[in-house]
Amino acid sequence: MRYGHFDDETREYVITTPHTPAPWINYLGSQNFFSLISHQGGGYSFYRDAKMRRLTRYRYNNIPSDVGGRYFFVNDGGDTWTPTWLPVKADLDHFETRHGMGYTQITGERGGLRVESLHFVPVDEDAEIARVTVTNTSEVTKTPTLFSFVEFALWNAQDDQTNYQRNLSIGEVEVEVDGPHGSAVYHRTEYRERRDHYAVHAVNAKAIGFDTDRDTFVGAYNSLGESAVPRAGASADSVASGWYPIGSLSLSPTLAPGESVTYTFVLGYLENPVESKWADEAQQVVNKERAHALLSRFATTEQTDAAFEALRDHWTRLLSTYSVTSTDPKLDRMVNIWNQYQCMVTFNMSRSASYFETGIGRGMGFRDSNQDLLGFVHLVPERGRERILDIAATQFPDGSAYHQYQPLTKRGNNDIGSGFNDDPLWLIAGVAAYLKETGDWSILDEQVPFDNDETLAEPLFEHLTRSFRFTVDNRGPHGLPLIGRADWNDCLNLNCFSSEPGESFQTTENASGGVAESLFIAAQFVLYGEQYAEIAERRGLTEVAAEARAEVEAMRTAVLEHGWDGGWFLRAYDFHGNKVGTDEHPEGKIWIEPQGFAVMAGIGTEKPADGGPSVAETALQSVNEMLATEHGMVLQYPAYTTYKIELGEVSTYPPGYKENGGIFCHNNPWVIIGETVLGHGERAFDYYKRITPAYREDISEIHKQEPYVYAQMIAGKEAVRHGEAKNSWLTGTAAWNFVTVSQHLLGVRPGWSGLIVDPQIGPAVPEFTVRRVARGATYVITVRNSGAEGSRATLTVDGVAIEGNEVPYAPAGSVVQVEAVL
């Protein structure tokens, strides 16, 4: 069943009931200030770093699961309710949430009063704006009271949830009832000491009351939905001193029938230089000049509306880089709107802050951020350049890498460990994608430190060389790459051997014999090693390129000699040199990762002399027979039913969940791309639709997560709840599925010297047009598709037939017409 619908014209998903199977969220912000917001107003805000600069508090594992956010309580003649339904849960006459590109609009109506709140983060502001419109839809005059509510976190989100002996004594606020642009509450906890930042919650009107103490606002032993102040109908004007600081401002407009009033609420982050922190010599009053300047930019509804329109224009420009027009509206909306939007959100967040990641435990991933770049570099190439240099600066001199780094400091975070041996090669993938997209070869000459030590700085190309050499220099008995702590699959821990409860599988290493090898990294090395060689050759380093290609070919041979199990590729060799992912075992016979990646890399694609299926075709047929389900392809099969100490965390999950036989949507695209390599467009598109959210909207009661963005995982065929999704939004699935659909199914991708046009989507989409901006030129690519298996397009460029599938890059400003016929 559905709980809403897509509005493609406005680029929104419209939720028509608060009773979705799970909180369905959106992200606000694209630069430094970010907010998570659910369809019921839940979530939180932070500046740059979800751990170190948390503005508002959110409690995970709560009951109900989504209580805590930005709320507006209404007291209409004694009737108390919230237009977001939560937290009061009073029945509403009308409810609607519209999640759009960087904004969310929530409308609730009850008893002849409608409250509409539009939440967004302006493009260049460190603030969340809420434009709130209260409308009297009844036939009598009303004088309701509106109460805002945010609960401040004490900046460090982890300390905020743990260090109560200190935190319950340090809360401080200032209140400005009659400020230059309305009323405001200033959160200044710890400002008197080491902090130079504070937060403001304000409205562009003079409030009739305020509260800054949570216990006063809520009342003893009440839930947030039972809050005492809104039920009383008047603010208590409480001033927090320790305990739990909040921001609440109340307004009471008188509205004739049909009349509306609009307010702008601002939640902002400000920093002051140390020398100008205070407004007085006694250092008792925060210097509010920057806050007043912020509030002055949203002092009127017209200013707020202009900022919102600028945000919409921003997204229109971004999303104009790649678009498709086809006969399939679900395909169009995913490609043109939601997949690219999710790629940008994932670029901003990596895996750090969602409704499944608290923003405390993880920073930015070395591997994750490089893969994310594949999905957003065409949108903001200049920020892609910046991200590459940030990532490379955390690399170790030997070519290995921290697994995570903190976004605020941009320094490696060893708490999550290192030694994930696939990490270094992802840097080559990210840089290659950037070079193809931009042609900016100067980035390779940028001096970039190792481990953020400027004395160790080398050109970026040297970082790529060390990434490449790390794999060459760390191979096991079969000539395959050593896995280290793990590879892409964090839960395949072949050197861990953990038997102690609570030990981290990712940081514990009880054995290391230089034996455990990864077939996934081997396939990755073949694919990205060739890209490294191409980069070297184009820099004039012909000997380096030749040596690199020799290593790639040696790895290709090793995979075919030692990594083939007869019907599919092995997954690994363990600490003892035993096979992982073999038909010889009753469980974990076949794993998805090496099948997809090996075929992507072109391993085993050659047809044998007898005309039978190639190794690659055999592997992908095995995937179809053993891993494919109606909800996507499971990670391995059969799942493990007992703990395998030699395999690690992968065997700790119940069968069918996460890495133990779950449908990991991140690696499904590798198989889909592999199918396009083999010319199997029909099967590839079928696989794509099984995990793509727009095609799953009709089964939202099963899928449960948002029908507009990808989830990391869908429960596998051996799970109790097969088809149920988890971990939506922040996942490498976003980037890889956009690469899959845009570059391989629709088949338009940047090459080294031109735009490659090579569609493989099968007969379901007989005609489509792609508009692609590349290096300043616009390509309009019209495809007529027979859908015949194995057929490849012939191209006509501006009326002239060309050989091959690469359209040379045109000068910036050009419009190039391409016709492709399959």
Q: Which residues are catalytic?
A: 490
Q: Dihedrals φ, ψ of 153, to 5°?
A: -90, 155
For residue 570, the SS3 value is coil
Cβ pair 737, 718 in contact under 8 A: no
Round to whole Å and give the CA distance between 27 and 445.
Answer: 35
Q: How far is CA 583 from the centre of its chain?
A: 36
Round to whole Å and give the CA distance between 396 and 280.
Answer: 47
| Token duo for residue 328 | 């399939």
Task: Give the angle 388-488-568 at the CA atoms, nearest 5°.
Answer: 130
Supply the DSSP string of 199-210, one letter for each residue. EEEEESS--SEE
Amino acid at 159: D
Cβ pair 223, 63 in contact under 8 A: no
Round to whole Å and give the CA distance between 87 and 79.
Answer: 14
125 phi-psi bin (left φ>0, alpha ψ -120 to 50, beta other)? beta
Q: Dihedrals φ, ψ of 542, to 5°?
A: -65, -35
Which of 791-795's residues contact partners 24+ apart within 8 Å by CB, and which partners?
A: 791/679, 791/822, 792/679, 792/758, 792/822, 793/747, 793/757, 793/758, 793/759, 793/820, 793/821, 793/822, 794/820, 794/821, 795/757, 795/819, 795/820
* DSSP β-bridge partners for residue 133: 116, 262
Round to whole Å and give the CA distance between 562 and 599.
Answer: 16
Nearest partner of 379 among 443, 308, 310, 315, judged by Cα: 315
For residue 490, the SS3 value is coil
Cβ pair 604, 615 in contact under 8 A: yes
Largest CA distance in the chain: 90
Cβ pair 520, 573 in contact under 8 A: no
The CA-based dihedral angle spanning residues 706, 707, 709, 710, taken in that order and rounded to the nearest 10 degrees: 90
Cβ pair 107, 116 in contact under 8 A: yes
Round to whole Å and give the CA distance between 711 and 668.
Answer: 12
Round to whole Å and give the CA distance between 468 and 421.
Answer: 11
Which of 573-577's residues contact partners 24+ apart within 8 Å by CB, and which partners?
A: 573/476, 573/477, 573/478, 573/480, 573/515, 573/516, 573/517, 574/494, 574/515, 574/516, 574/646, 574/647, 575/494, 575/495, 575/497, 575/511, 575/513, 575/515, 575/516, 575/646, 576/515, 576/646, 577/477, 577/515
Question: Between 542-562 and 519-538, two packed helices, what is the crossing angle to 10 degrees?
Answer: 160
Cβ pair 480, 472 in contact under 8 A: no
Amino acid at 764: A
Q: Is the peptide bond before 407 cis (omega within 30 degrees of 0)?
A: no
Instruction: Name the CA radius of gyration of the chain, rounded.
Output: 28
* Burial class of residue 301 (count of CB atoms within 10 Å of its CB; 0-12, 13-18, 19+): middle
Q: What is the DSSP letter of 509?
A: -
For residue 375, the SS3 value is helix
Q: Dihedrals φ, ψ of 284, to 5°?
A: -115, -15
β pairing state of 815-821 and 777-784 = parallel
